[in-house]
Amino acid sequence: MPGLPRPITVPSRGSASGRGLRHPEPPKTPVAPVQRRRRRETAAAWAYVSPAVLIILGLGVVPVAWSLLLSFQVDDLVTPSRWTGLDNYAALAQDPHFAQAVGNTVLYTLLYVPLSILFGFLLAQALNRRIRLVGLYRTLVFVPFVLSATAQGVLFSFILDPQFGAANSLLHHLGVSPQGFLTDPAQALLVLVGITLWSGTGFCVVVYLAALQDVPPSLVEAARLDGAGTWRVLRHVTLPAITPVTAFLVLWQLITSLQVFDLVYVTTKGGPLGSTTVIVYFVWEQAFKNFTAGYGAASAYVLALALLVVVLVLRVLRRPGKALR
């Protein structure tokens, strides 16, 4: 009679000769391969981030540090510079042209920032409804924003030309005397504000449209059930809901307005009689037209200090319980 197959038995735990089940020990990874792998990962990470680091250092940190040193020197970009300490800043405080540039920049900012936000909000309210061709209207409002300031300047230089421009031709048909527009010291800065409003309001419209569509409909419906009209819904529901967006737009438009340069350069070049000279154009004029690079760097740092103060003030106002909340 053939023998039965021998059963396979599981050895018990603790048996030295196979009497028990012993869990296999995890394989030990050699130390040297782990270190090599970490070195390869670190090298790969630096290879990925090194272009961004070089760009930040080359276009950000180094120019900022170099211009700060330059602001304490007399430098014409040709001959060796000479250290003068705070003389450039003291000269700026007594320079009437710099004071005029500061005044023009402040006036430009005070006109452009609130008007662009107000028009942007009103247009967003109008375009946040279900009307025919609303997509076309939104596109037409946003298109001027994507145009470069250089293209805008060239376009409006033709339109507002005092002799051959289309604007004066239209005014002539309406019986209004011809205007100087960009050649009139009393009108030039206001005209620049109008051009910037034409192009910059589209950005506010798009941001406000996104914010208005995020307002919870349940809050609006609850307010209407409580008897609130359109004005009360706007005041007590819509405006509080979009307050963070408004704060962002105020900061963004402030920085944009304080840095305006290309439109001034293309249209008026700071004229007539310095009526459109803003701070950034003053910096460029000192550095690359008058070849007083140290003086221009000092004025640039005054602008940077002004921007820093604006940002700090807005951060303080955005704290809980402050004005913007």
User: Tens of pLDDT along 206-218?
Assistant: 999 999 988 888 8
pLDDT band at 147 (very low <50, low <70, confident <90, very high): confident
pLDDT surpassing 90 at residue 114: yes
- Prior bond of 30 cis (ω within 30°): no
Tokens for 192, please give them: 């620049």
pLDDT score at 314: 74
More confidently predicted of 124 and 229: 124
Contact yes or no for 281/98 (Cβ under 8 A): no
pLDDT score at 120: 92
pLDDT score at 42: 92
Q: In whole angstroms, how far apart are CA 260 and each of 92, 105, 256, 307?
A: 20, 9, 6, 13
pLDDT tens digits for range 51-82: 999 998 888 888 888 888 888 988 877 788 88
pLDDT surpassing 60 at residue 11: no
For the chain, the average pLDDT equals 83
pLDDT score at 9: 57
Contact yes or no for 84/74 (Cβ under 8 A): yes
Across the range 35-59, mean pLDDT stands at: 90
pLDDT tens digits for range 216-258: 888 888 888 888 888 888 888 888 888 889 988 988 888 888 8
Across the range 131-141, mean pLDDT stands at: 86
Tokens for 319, please give them: 């704290």
pLDDT band at 4 (very low <50, low <70, confident <90, very high): low
Q: Is 21 exposed, middle or buried (0-12, 13-18, 19+ CB in 10 A)?
A: exposed
pLDDT surpassing 80 at residue 319: no
pLDDT score at 193: 92
pLDDT surpassing 50 at residue 325: no
What are the helix (H) ranges across 82-187?
A: 87-93, 96-127, 134-146, 149-159, 166-173
Across the range 23-35, mean pLDDT stands at: 66
| Alpha carbon 308 to its chain's center | 14
Q: Percent of the chain at pLDDT above 90?
A: 19
pLDDT score at 116: 93
